[in-house]
Structure 1
Amino acid sequence: MERPTVELMVYGENLATTRVEIGTHPGVTLDRVTEVENPNYLFVRLRIGDTATPGTIPLHFRHDAGTLTRSFELRPRRTGTYAQGFSSEDVIYLLMPDRFANGAPENDSIPGFLEGVDRSDPDARHGGDFAGIREHLDYIDDLGMTALWMTPIFENDMPPEYGAYHGYAATDMYRVDPRFGSNDTFRRLVESAHERDLKVIMDMIHNHIGDRHWWMDDPPTGDWVHDFDKYGTTNYEGAAVIDPYAAEHDREQLTDAWFVPSMPDLNQDNELLATYLIQNTLWWIESTGIDGIRMDTYFYADKDYMTRWTSAVLEEYPDFNIVGESWVPTVPHEAYWQDDFQAHPDDYDSDLPSVTDFPLSFAMQDAFAPDGGGVYDLYRTLAQDHVYPAPNKLVTFLDNHDLTRFFSVVDEDEDAFKLAYAFLMTTRGIPQVYYATELMQPMLDVEGDGAKRPDMPGGWPGDARSVFTEEGRTARENRAHDFVTTLTTWREDADVVHHGGLTHYIPQDDTYVYFRHDADDTVMVVLNNAEESRTLALDRFEERIQGHTAGRDVISGATVALGDSLTVPARTPMVLELRK
């Protein structure tokens, strides 16, 4: 690998009293042994030379009372297709493994683990797993999705009252949660996805861990995590780390305080911890073959560390892609985190290729909500794209596992849903679709985050129906499924949408018109969000229509003439492939 050293965290009683030696292995030398204040840890750094070969390296810990030997395996590099990255050519399907499908009920409850399964509780574990996802990869592929993002898969052995089914409170960063499967079953899931040309994006968290992580019983150093008594919980104010007028107290409160009391905040200023986290990432990529990473709570961690981490990953895997979760409402605060942003007040450069486009997500919610501002919000938000170094690399979305389900945002209005989904599939960026959005899934009538995270009917043995089949879906679900499939599968081959230019026109009468165009193709999109049909005079758009006389409506399949005017029915999207 590009990185010539690997640092091993070795844990055992009074290791500091031992002398470390390694057995002879071609190309491998002992570079350094670091002792820390806790005598139960040693950090052993090996240098892997160009002549090194795969094999097992013995580590000898010698003491007057005897010698303890442990082995470290040096593995060959992975071959084949992996670390592909993701781009505007993709549509990402986001799911929560615990809530999608249960293909292996035998792993629902693991002896010794703090939580089993209780489907009657919306905030408990429900039993979804990798086996269930593998069973339904064809369903995801047939929708037109090209990438799969799962919320974190790390072991989360947390108490039932915490509800760690979501995966964001890791208790072992090198182990898959056994209620999802094993490290090997995850590798097989990645392989099965790749066989269908589905990329896999892994969700990671370097800002915090769960308070039942084994480190917390005996941490390596006193500063391994930030002091809760000093910092408390975060202020959640993302602007503080960017604000040129921010008090240092507020910045520290954002980045050094704990996300919640059960999530210790990791101190990435600790060099040994920083190395551990970087190596852990490289290990997951190389050992499983994933194609991208979504980094949770990106700006809550130390930003200089995050740049170092991003650079290390991209140096090793140049085709890889990373999207950082930056939950902020304004375009400048979002753009700050993307690589090559030109207006940093502090000369910061993140190296981060992609960020989550929350400003556009909020604009989509406002544009189509009953009491929102209308489609002008979309125009106004996109008009600020000059702030982003690379707006087409942003990940766009209607909703996700933390937001109110979009279909509920629009009061279960099918027309509003179709308008919004058509926009998501045709505007710039990398679209992400939250599982069950293809069914127009509303919020459940329960309290808490479980309302956003329903089980997929048919994913569990004994379910009364299966939404994975046409006959198992309701009429409304089939209308949504067909609409989503039509647009998403069309987008798979629509290079003009992947990489083409975007020209939009100031909305009039709650109707928004824009074009995607390149040297070969032009797509005209009309979103009529009004309660009445609109007849558009087409001379206004001549600079982009450029002599085209008709268009095929991707949604209806009909051919639409482009004369002096175009009539668009009320509350209707049109996606027209223009023809001369």
Structure 2
Amino acid sequence: MNKLAFSLALFFIWPGALVAASIERIDPPNWWAGMHNQDVQLLIHGEGIGGYEVKLDSTDVSLQAVDSTDNANYLFATLKISPSFNKEFVTLKFEKPGQEAIAYQYPIFKREPNSAQRAGFGNRDLIYLITPDRFANGDTSNDAFAEMGDELNRSKEFSRHGGDLQGIINHLDYLEGLGVTQLWLNPVLENKQPKSSYHGYAITDHYKVDPRYGDNALYKKLAKKAKQNGIGLIIDLIPNHIGHKHWWMTDLPSNDWINFNNTFSPTNHMRESVQDPYAVEADRKQFADGWFVASMPDLNQRNPLLANYLIQNAIWWVETANLTGIRIDTWSYSNKLFLSQWSDRILAEYPQLNMVGEEWSTTPNIIAYWQKGAINADGYASNLPSLFDFPLQASISPALIEDENWNTGLIKLYKTLASDAIYPNPSALTIFADNHDMSRVMTQVNGDATLNKMALTLIATLRGTPQIFYGSEIAMQHPGTESHGAIRADFPGGWVDDSVNAFAGKNLTQEQSETLAYVRQLFNWRKSANAIHTGQMHHLAPKDGVYCFTRFNAQERWLICLNKNTNDVTLPFAQLTPLLDSGKTATHFLSQEAQNLTQGLRLKARAADVFRIQ
């Protein structure tokens, strides 16, 4: 019997003829021998299964524990799998006095060679964020399914538009040419919600790709094809909540599975309460246990069975699809002790994997609290390597569009970076100018393509791992609206009837074409600029509308200067000396024009210039 047959989870009487099974599903649907943690907890769901005894037929797999809950339709069986296990499945036997026994062939696979040693994303990479429904429609046959609900209608901002995994596969060459080395997709797991399901953040099945995107096999194919193009795949997971149409919601595994007794009680969004020394427990509880909206039930990760389920789900996807990283939605809204356990368990399996958490706070001390290595006043120890640098993001567009003054303009960017001492590892942060939940950077800078390029230059050259949002390379914008449906607009060229095709460079405006060409040059140059990846940084305080910083190591030194002025500026050699380390020549990274620094450095008007210093 092949692996596909096993993964279909066949049931049969033991002994006896084939009959209808009382087991509806087992999660995870398979596991592997040779994992760091040899135990796997199986969620077993079926009518009355809680009254059955579980037995095994293997000497290489042992039954460590069987847990029941207040719901008789569930059992949780924990297996220990010996590294020497070399079969394709283990047979689970379910027995109950007076009832015919049931057997289930549970698949156990061999791990891919060096799976545990996989490299995660890091500072050498460019992460490209895609909302899959809005990027490209590569297979029109999966555009809509009656049983899934939520209409297909490209004319409506919050309906499904038809983008899918095949559309992304079809354009991997475009992404590689752009300089992309990592893909972060908004969640692609099943969202069987009645409306506005396109964003993916209301999961209804943790082990199934949404059929409107494809299936699990196509997701694995995307990861494989992307790897062939030098691109890793980052999964977006949501341990905090689910969609209210999740299959659990019709038969909850236990009465404490959902916070606030399965009754909507909104979060207060007080992220500060987690570390606020004056916060009352009621505020902390309302923040962490409260629901985002009524259609997103909040999960109770204090339940150890649920906590284990969520941890194993993350590991299962990394192993199944050969992923290079995890992006975690609404990081701080989950139980914080669970979050430490969650990240610790995953990194025990994949020590070099990277994970980045979303903590949407613009105060550095709140971000720093959650990073691995932080010494916190309350003793909390996080294991999360990276977080999104929301404080830096919040300073970029003001730095570019505000008039220069003692507390406005470039000084905001300078002061944000000056706060880096609070982070355990600022270079491990993930930096960005925009994402799927906020105004596109082109809109933030009032539709100014020059400032858009300056913002992207900052993202390419500051410390951290850069992430850009699909369409930034062609200066996509949404003037006059902050609607998320408009922010997550269709990428031009992703549908066969599109008159503009950015993939092919067809019918782009001059502004769009110039931006695209610049982004390609910028991020492909960045691939080999080692000092930009891991080098040190020094900067000069902004002066007269100019801000300069250097990234350097023992082999190379790069000087990046932003000139907001409407005229060219020449910086005196003496002013730049602290950044030069005796260098006398500045060579522009694109034009290769060299300047003698002893005569001053000429900066173009309204530009971010990058120079090699020698």
Q: Which moved more, 1:552-561 or 1:280-289?
A: 552-561
**Aligned match for 2:169, one of 134, 159, 166:** 134
How far apart are residue 236 of structure 1 and its match? 1.3
Which segment drifts farther, 183-192 or 551-560? 551-560
> 1:553 and 1:238, CA in 2 relative to 1: closer, same or farther beyond 3 A?
same
For 1:335 and 1:18, the matched residues in 2 are separated by 48
In the TM superposition, what is the alpha-carbon distance from 1:118 to its structure 2 partner? Answer: 0.9
Which whole-Å CA distance do the structure 2 matches of 1:325 and 1:164 have between them? Answer: 20
Letter in 2 for 1:499: T
Corresponding residue for residue 607 of structure 2: 572
**Which residue number corresponds to residue 51 of structure 1?**
84
Q: Distance in 2 between matches of 1:182 and 1:116?
A: 19
> How far does residue 552 in structure 1 lie from its aligned partner after superposition?
1.7
Conserved? CA contact 1:187–1:288, under 8 Å: yes
Q: Look up the match of 2:22.
A: none
Residue range with higher mean Cα deviation, 350-359 or 220-229: 220-229
* Structure-2 separation of matches of 1:144 and 1:409: 24
Q: What's the counterpart of residue 195 of structure 1?
A: 228
**Alpha-carbon contact 1:122-1:446 (below 8 Å) kept:** no
Q: SS of the residue aligned with 2:198?
A: helix
1:77 to 105, 111, 114: 111
Aligned to 1:493: 528
Q: What amino acid sits opposite 2:187 in the alignment?
A: P
**Higher mean Cα deviation, 76-85 or 518-527?**
76-85
Separation of aligned partners in 1, 2:240 and 2:489: 27
- Structure 1: segments with no counterpart, 5+ residues: none
Q: 1:189 to 1:444 in 2, by over 3 A?
A: farther
Give the counterpart letter for 2:383 in structure 1: D
Note the 1:447-462 alignment, pairs <5 A: 448-462=483-497
Aligned pair partner of 1:474 in 506, 509, 523:
509
Which residue of the partner structure matches residue 351 of structure 1? 383
Number of the residue aligned with 2:398 = 366
After superposition, residues 248-263 of structure 1 pair within 5 angstroms as 248-263=281-296
Q: Which residue number in structure 2 is paired with residue 210 of structure 1?
A: 243
RMSD: 1.5
Q: Which runs of 5+ in 2 are unaligned?
A: 1-34
Question: Over residues 43-72 of structure 1, what are the superposed CA-to-partner deviations in whole Å (9 max), with x where a residue is unaligned?
Answer: 111111232224111222223131222221
| TM-fit CA distance, 1:503 | 0.4
Equivalent of residue 525 in structure 1, options 560, 571, 591: 560
Does the 8 Å CA contact 2:539/2:579 hold for their aligned counterparts?
no
1:17 aligns with 2:51: yes
Larger mean CA deviation between 549-558 and 207-216 belongs to: 549-558
What SS is found at the alignment partner of 1:576? strand
Residue in 2 aligned with 1:543? 578
Cross-structure match for 2:343: 310
For 2:524 and 2:214, locate their aligned partners in 1 and report how far apart those are by CA, in whole Å. Answer: 31
Moved more, 225-234 or 384-393: 225-234
User: Is the Cα contact below 8 Å between 1:370 and 1:410 reproduced in 2?
Assistant: no
Aligned to 1:278: 311
Does the C-alpha gap of structure 1 residues 12 and 371 become closer, same or farther in structure 2, counting only changes over 3 Å? farther
Per-residue deviation, residues 491-529 of structure 1 (Å, max 9, x unmatched) = 000001001110000110121011111111111111011
Counterpart of 2:463, as a letter, is R
Tell me the SS of whatever aligns to 1:454: coil
- Map residues 168-187 of structure 1 onto 2, 5 A cutoff: 168-187=201-220
Counterpart residue number, 2:369: 336
| Residue in structure 1 matched with residue 550 of structure 2 by the alignment | 515
CA distance in 1, matches of 2:206, 2:368: 30
Which of 72, 93, 109 aligns to 2:144? It is 109
- 1:34 aligned onto 2:73: no
- 1:156 matched to 2:191? The reply is yes
Kindly indicate whether the alpha-carbon contact (under 8 Å) linking 2:264 and 2:293 is maintained by their aligned counterparts in 1: no
Q: Which runs of 4+ in 1 moved over 4 A?
A: 228-231, 444-447
Number of equivalent positions? 575
Q: In the superposition, relative to structure 1, how do residues 3 and 262 fare at CA in structure 2: closer, same or farther (>3 Å)?
A: same
Separation in 1 of the partners of 2:403 and 2:278?
35
Paired letter, 1:258: W
CA contact (8 A) 2:232 2:324 kept: yes
Give me the TM-score of the superposition, normalised by structure 2: 0.91
Distance 1:444 1:513 in 2: 31
Q: Whole-Å Cα distance in 2 between the matches of residues 185 and 86 of structure 1?
A: 22
Choose the corresponding residue for 1:322, options 336, 342, 355. 355
Task: Determine the C-alpha separation between the residues in 2 that align with 1:288 and 1:143.
Answer: 24
Provide the TM-score with structure 1 as the length reference.
0.97
Letter in 2 for 1:205: I
In structure 1, C-alpha distance between the alignment counterparts of 2:338 and 2:137, rounded to whole Å: 37
Deviation at 1:370, TM superposition (A): 4.6
Do the aligned partners of 1:204 and 1:296 also contact (CA within 8 Å) in 2? yes
Displacement after TM superposition at 1:368 (Å): 1.4
Deviation of residue 448 (structure 1)?
2.5
Give the counterpart letter for 2:512 in structure 1. E
* Residues 292 and 321, structure 1, Cα contact 8 Å, conserved in 2: yes
3-state SS of paired residue (2:259):
coil
* SS state at 2:148 partner: coil
Aligned: 1:87 with 2:119? no
**Whole-angstrom distance in 1 between the partners of 2:473 and 2:235:** 22
**Structure 1 residues 569, 51: closer, same or farther in 2, change over 3 A?**
closer
Whether the 8 Å contact between 2:255 and 2:261 is mirrored in structure 1 is no
Q: Is the partner of 2:489 in helix, strand or coil?
A: coil
Q: C-alpha displacement at 1:230, in angstroms? A: 6.6
Specify the alignment match of 1:2 in structure 2.
36
What one-letter code is carried by the residue in structure 1 that aligns with 2:291?
A: W
Which residue in the other structure is 2:439 paired with? 404
